[in-house]
Chain A
Amino acid sequence: MPVLTFVEISGGKIKKASVEAAYYGSKTAEALGTESLAVVLGEASGDELATLGQVGIKKVLHAADARLNNFDSGVYTKVVAAAAEATQADVVALSFNHNGKLLAPRLSVRLKAGYVPGAVELPQFNGSTMTVRKNVFSGKATAIYQVTTPRKIVSVNPNSLSPVRGSGSATVEAFTPAISDADFRVTVKGVDKVVGEIPLTEAEIVISGGRGLKGPENWYLITDLAKEMGAATACSRAVADVDWRPHHEHVGQTGLTIRPNLYVAVGISGAIQHLAGVNGSKVIVVINTDPEAPFFKAADYGIVGDAFEVMPKLLEEYRKFKAAH
């Protein structure tokens, strides 16, 4: 029976993490020789939803109820579970992003379905058994999880795979689960979103600074390059703790975990707690004056040098590169 992917909308657009999840769902469906479906909650345009066909979704179940525009884990669980029941989905896929991290465990209980959080590869099937790999111990190891329940849930780590877009178009079908006002228990009072900036967890390139930059007034070294590269900016815990940068930029064990394609660490020594938040990055570049900085051991490319000297050059060279490509 089909694979059903939970897809999220933000500002009228499908979230990047959800496109990845939908692609993951479609690839899983392909391996099982079954159909790939999606479920979307809240208002969204039919044209936008139809684009899910490009990543292999055949049909979108759309619960267009305006009350579902805001995320409330309880009622979302009810609706997605109802969609899984209605479609008799064997596998429910979603992103291991902010909302997915809360929705999936609730679904696991409601559907009595074994759940693997933050998968980094496509699942394998052997009869009714599913196995899939995930990171454990903050990226220091991986583990293969096995699920034998009839229904399975898997969430995919953002940036674990690059969706290949085809030319398909998904059909959109209205989905009207039985929900009442009493199901809505979380009321949104306000949103404080940094507009115009790329969300850190969705960024493909992240430029990050640490204490080596000596003070907040020097952050232009980070932000100028980030702007030029279309990158998000991040920082170490030490920097957030002294308020040189906002807390939401802090990556590391107690901050955000990110997995961009390219992570550039400038003036960050690379303590194990920091590495725990970034070691899933595909390529790591470290710029540090100290050749003994532990970060070099986790890096793909490194420059031993002073950020004040290296960063302006890097900006200049990147501009040249951009002009030529």
Chain B
Amino acid sequence: MKILVPIAKVPDTTSKISFTDNNTRFNPDGVTFIMNPTDEWYALVRACELKEKQGGEVVVIHVGTPDAEQIIRKALAIGADRAVRVDADPTDAYFVAAQIAAHAKAENYDLIITGKETIDYNSFQVGGMVSEMLDWPCVSLVQKLEVENGVATLRREIEGGSEIVEVKLPLVVCAQKELAEPRIPNMKGIMSARTKPLAVVPPVEVEKLTAVISYSLPEKAKQVKLIDKDNVAELIRLLHEEAKVI
């Protein structure tokens, strides 16, 4: 089975977020970048598990600038066989999806597994867009994935529960929690990652569908109103009269 895993580079969750150029650009100064958690912990690890069990190949693809090498090497250390970096500074999700779809069209994949969303723009777009570009089925918010004889059985989250679905490959899967357990690369993985192939390819041309024109930070931190633990009735009163939520 040949599996493609798109990985994104995002600011670490604990990073302080700021903007420059009159709040029109994200300021990367002093920010630690990591592999997007759902891409790494669930999509990549499940792809590696499937390959280790059933044979095949796991390829990671990243659309971004050369400074992502560390993240790509980490993905190789976790267990991917080779990597492709599309050398471009992505403009929007549509651009990223188009690069991934162009690569997938040129190679014969059975499965594309990506994280459900990135923690920077939280937009849940790339998996769905890639599937439509390839005219493949796509299942999102996937918690469980097994593949047998070219048919995937998946558990996906629905409102208030889950649903078991069956789909013939090829297929795009958007992964979430429970699909796999995060893996820490071992020494052997780290060593071999240095020599695994990393191809750098130019982007395909894509029109821009959306743009971010400005950012803003919340006005200021909330001021908590503390209520004495022996006066719980006051909380109920405030929730009713002031906050008007009950």
Q: Is A149 engaged at the interface, CB distance under 8 Å to the other chain? A: yes
Q: CB distance B137 to A109 under 8 Å?
A: no
Q: CB distance B137 to A185 under 8 Å?
A: yes
Q: What is the CA–CA distance of A310 and B13 in the complex, to the nearest angstrom? A: 32
Q: Is B133 engaged at the interface, CB distance under 8 Å to the other chain? A: yes
- Say what secondary structure dominates the interface of chain B: mixed
Contacting residues, chain B, for A188 (C-beta < 8 A): 163-165
Q: CB distance A193 to B125 under 8 Å?
A: no
> Which of A101, A192, A229 contacts B162 (CB under 8 A)?
A192
Contacting residues, chain B, for A134 (C-beta < 8 A): 123
- CB-based nearest A residue for B163: A191
Q: Per-residue 0/1 for A177-197: is the Cβ within 8 Å of any B Cβ (1 yes, 0 no)?
A: 000000001111111111001
Q: Per-residue 0/1 for A63-91: is the Cβ within 8 Å of any B Cβ (1 yes, 0 no)?
A: 00000000011100100000000000000
How many residues belonging to A are interface residues under a CB distance threshold of 8 Å? 98
Contacting residues, chain A, for B167 (C-beta < 8 A): 185-187
> Which of B125, B135, B222, B235 contacts A298 (CB under 8 A)?
B222
Chain B contact residues, CB within 8 Å of chain A: 11, 13-14, 17, 19, 37-38, 41, 93-94, 97, 116-117, 119-129, 131-133, 135-141, 143, 153, 157-168, 174, 176-178, 209-218, 221-222, 224-229, 232-233, 235-236, 238-240, 243, 245-246
Contacting residues, chain A, for B238 (C-beta < 8 A): 301
B212: min CB distance to chain A, Å? 5
- CB-based nearest B residue for A112: B209
Contacting residues, chain A, for B228 (C-beta < 8 A): 303
> Which of A110, A112, A144, A305 contacts B212 (CB under 8 A)?
A144
A90: min CB distance to chain B, Å? 15
Q: CB distance B229 to A305 under 8 Å?
A: yes
21 sampled A-B residue pairs with Cβ under 8 A: A74-B138, A109-B94, A114-B94, A117-B123, A117-B125, A137-B120, A143-B215, A146-B211, A186-B165, A186-B166, A187-B166, A190-B164, A193-B160, A193-B162, A205-B246, A254-B38, A254-B176, A261-B245, A303-B227, A306-B229, A314-B232
Q: Is A165 engaged at the interface, CB distance under 8 Å to the other chain? A: no
Q: Is A38 engaged at the interface, CB distance under 8 Å to the other chain? A: no
> Which of B165, B222, B239 contacts A297 (CB under 8 A)?
B222
